[in-house]
Structure 1
């Protein structure tokens, strides 16, 4: 009974393997046909493009060159705008920095003058007290 079961199982496994192999071969054949058809279509399309009027190709090429030139001009314009924005920002920061440096310098001068004034004022009464 076990032998019969093993035999039936082996037969079913072989049948399943054969069906699987057949399905794979069929799928492969279908894919091959699809790829061949696509290749044939592309080859025909290429032949049509090659046989088109050269003036049309020149016109299309001219359009593409115009588009490229336009894109380059827009890129250059964007770069110039960006450089201008950076220059304005840097100029503003430099102006603020210079103003802060001047403010600091003015405060240092005022502090020095105040210090000298306080020193002078503190010496003056002492000198006045010594005079007859």
Structure 2
């Protein structure tokens, strides 16, 4: 269903929480519909959408933070960034996990209207 829908790039230049949420709602509905869907789809969708917005559903391995890798790379002059096939919630998720401050830029595909591996998102970065 993900590929049929065109992936996150299908959002095009339609950015903003409302458009992104409608996009995800459509994907989830299309996945569940063949199995009979859910009697309480809207509640289910809101629960899932909100869950993927919270840091407790993501994990940073301890050795990433303990290694000092971010400081070492920054001191060597390397520009650090995130390019992700994701929606604009990415910024808040990384911030809540104390990761956002380690990067020079964070770019979600939904904000650009292009997704990896398309070169447009890399050019934007």
TM-score bracket for the superposition, by shorter chain length = under 0.3
Q: Rg: which structure is higher?
A: 1
Higher relative contact order (CA 8 A, sep 6+): 2
Length-normalised TM-score, structure 2: 0.22
TM-score (norm 1): 0.21
